[in-house]
Amino acid sequence: MLDMNFIRGNEELMRNTAKWKNADFPLDELLEWDDKRRELRQETEGLRAERNALTKEVERLLRAGEKDAGEEAKARVRETGRRLDALEPALAEAERRCAELLLLAPNPVSADTPIGASDRDNVELRRCGTPAALGFAPRDHVALGELHGILDIPRGVKAGGPRSYVLKGTGLRLHLAVQQLALDVLESRGFTLMDVPVIVKPEALERTGFFPAGKDQTYELAGENRWLAGTSEVSLVSLYSDEVVEVDEPLRLAGMSACFRSEVGSAGRDVRGLYRVHQFSKIEQVVICCGDAAVSERMLQEILGNAEHILQLLELPYRVVAVCSGDMSLKTHKQYDIETWMPSRGAYGETHSASNLLDYQARRSHIRHRGEDGRLQYCHTLNNTAVATPRILIPLLENHQREDGSVYIPQALRKYMNGLESLEVCGPAVSVEE
């Protein structure tokens, strides 16, 4: 959410932001309702002051024995009350409409954010690692998972419907190993590990900017007015709503949770395998810091570096891209994506997303801190994936496969895999051509 005075003082910026983000933001309608709200508020406050003064006048006149004048003043009190009764519903409606429309206001992007229409306009910043020249026709992660008996998609679909899966045996251990690696890295870097609710109230989704725009991506629990979160960011930020927090040192939070997304609008996209599924697990980094742009920029680079470090431990080639305006959500001020090389796609695929939201979420959530001058001000919030699985299993299996079908286990994961160095094929491996 943005401050209304900021919007009024930056109309051109807000129009451009809506255009750059492809956002349906009715700025003119908001300004009209805000004008109406201001007029009605001024009028009602004037009438309340008049009624209070008249009430005191009635008391004075009656104490002075001026009964007729007192009755006349009483009549004026009643008339003022009737005028207030007529105005207050209109004021309440204007305030309601302003609040609704403010939720649609997009967060302006940073000066170094590329302006573009879609992910095709994201700008590559750097690459780390070089995709291996495998020297043979590689299997994709589904074929590798089936070969090793660690992935069963047909039975997953039988139980859960499309975009469902089952991880079995060593596949489950691998799924848990990458999560534990991420948790250990973050804990060593000062993050508080947290297991948080994934069933959340609608207010939590609204406070964090996932509602109203992302409502169609979220599963609702019928009849309960509660929803399944698509990221632990929702709960981690909401834990501190309506609080004044101490952020001399930023709050570094690491949430471990199951996540659920409906993937509306993705019909026909990434239908094979584990790239786009309805249920997954994620270790999420969330930072709440002081409302200083230099500090939140520094924290953005920190959480991005944490994710890169985890990918380096997994020995995976990746690239970092600056996300363009048209590929951002309403709430994001600045965003980096990390895309990891996936041989089956012959391309990099998104595995991480790091965002600085400035005070956008904190205003909605009413999370504040005291500045150096002792005054309350809104915090800044940031988030980034540490690891999301099973998607990370795609590059992990595909990049580390060998011609015989075996899969190398990176050194950093072995202590979580009982020392296992590779997934070996039981019996002769069937070639891709066969």
Q: Give the Cα separation of 341 and 318 in Å (integer).
A: 6
Q: Give the Cα separation of 392 and 395 in Å (integer).
A: 6
Nearest to 100 by CA among 39, 200, 33, 161: 33
Which of 51, 207, 252, 261 is catalytic? The answer is: 261
Cis peptide before 212 (omega within 30 of 0): yes
Q: Identify whether the C-beta of residue 354 lies closer than 8 Å to the C-beta of residue 307.
A: yes
Which of 233, 391, 398, 406 is catalytic? The answer is: 391
Q: Identify whether the C-beta of residue 337 lies closer than 8 Å to the C-beta of residue 352.
A: yes
Beta strand pairing call for 199-200 and 192-195: unpaired
Token digits of residue 242? 């309506």
Which of 308, 350, 355, 406 is catalytic? The answer is: 350
Beta-strand runs (E) in 118-167: 123-128
Q: Which residue has the tokens 């795609």?
A: 394
Token digits of residue 204? 């939590």
Catalytic residue at 296? no
Catalytic residue at 252? no
Catalytic residue at 355? no
Catalytic residue at 350? yes
Provide the terminal-to-terminal Cα distance of the chain, rounded to the nearest Å. 56
Catalytic residue at 51? no
Q: CB neighbours of 313 closer than 8 A, spacing ≥ 6?
A: 181, 185, 410, 412
CA angle 357/275/269 to nearest 5° reads: 95
Q: Identify whether the C-beta of residue 240 lies closer than 8 Å to the C-beta of residue 365.
A: yes
Neighbours of 384 (CB within 10 A): 25
Which of 48, 97, 173, 276 is catalytic? The answer is: 276
Q: Which residues are catalytic?
A: 261, 276, 350, 353, 391
